Amino acid sequence: MTPAPMAISSASSTVALPEYLEKTYWWAYTHPNAVRVFERQWLVNLILWGNFAKLRDLALDEMGDTINGRVLQVACVYGNFTEHVLRRLGPQGHLSVIDVAPVQITNLHNKIGPQKQVSIFQQDSTALQFADASQDTVVLFFLLHEQPLEVRQKTVAEAMRVTKPGGKIVFVDYHRPRASSPFRYLMVPILTTLEPFAMDLWRGQISDWLPAHCQQLPLDKQTYFGGLYQKVVIQR
């Protein structure tokens, strides 16, 4: 039985910002000015070449039109992703959102306001403070490309750990475009300059970073926009 909805909250955590995040993404994620610049729906859509709404809805559709289970969103997202999850929550639905950056926690509180069915926590994606098999769906929307390999592996392992048997882990992120796509060449200087860890997603597969005991789980992978983006869904 799904627990009763909970009031919006935030953990009194002292989780430290990872060094890679402060050094690599201070300009886009951890500095207060970053929030003021990037928290614009039109800009988020532009960064994704007009594909934000489509990619957002692809992730949402994996949860169904009405969500009555427990959903964990790993990392806050610029744009209206969380608001659209909230619109689909049924009477027994509950959304937990975690992020390691306090400025992002504050920003999300400001975006969505008081909500009865949401909990917001400062946590590190590599050490989730949730019980094993406690979530029906775990969503990682454009997170993995921001993490170095060893961090990404731990994040994926934690997402798998907290997902219930029969539940889903939904990844939406960058992917290596097809050779015929101009973005295969256009995006290289952009990603290597601004998103240096994203190139790992071009060189490998999300399945490569699954824990050994999860390698045989059912996995569905779809690519979009000439292969520049991917959605990977794993059934626990």
What are 117-167's pLDDT values in tens digits?
Answer: 999 999 999 999 999 999 999 999 999 999 999 999 999 999 999 999 999
Dihedral angle, C-alpha 117, 123, 124, 129, nearest 10 ° = -80
| Backbone conformation region of residue 79, classed left if phi is above 0, alpha if psi is from -120 to 50, else beta | left
Strand pairing partners for 171? 140, 232
Cα separation, 158 vs 151, in Å, equals 11
Report pLDDT digits (tens) over 198-234: 998 999 999 999 999 999 999 999 999 999 999 999 9
C-alpha to C-alpha distances, 45 to 39, 41, 42, 50, nearest whole angstrom: 11, 6, 5, 5
pLDDT, average across residues 169-173: 98
Through-space distance between the first and last CA atoms of the chain, rounded to whole angstroms: 19
Task: Over range 175-184, report the average pLDDT.
Answer: 96
For the sheet with 135-141, list strands across it.
118-122, 94-99, 70-74, 135-141, 163-174, 229-235, 219-224
pLDDT for res 122: 97
**Tokens encoding 71:** 């959903």
pLDDT for 58: 98
Find out whether 170 and 59 touch, Cβ atoms under 8 Å: yes
User: What band does 29 get if pLDDT is binned at 50, 70 and 90?
Assistant: very high
- Could you report the per-residue pLDDT of 51-110, keeping only the tens digit for each? 999 999 999 999 999 999 999 999 999 999 999 999 999 999 999 999 999 999 999 999
**pLDDT band, residue 14 (cuts 50/70/90):** confident
Residue 60 neighbours by CB under 8 Å, 6+ apart: 84, 85, 88
The per-residue b/e assignment along 183-222, b for 16 or more CB within 10 angstroms, e otherwise, is: bbeebeeebeeebebbbbbbeeebeebbeeebeeeebeee
Structure token pair of residue 44:
């988020």
Residue 71's SS3 state is strand
Question: Model confidence at 114, in pLDDT bands (50, 70, 90)?
Answer: confident
pLDDT band at residue 5 under the 50/70/90 scheme: very low
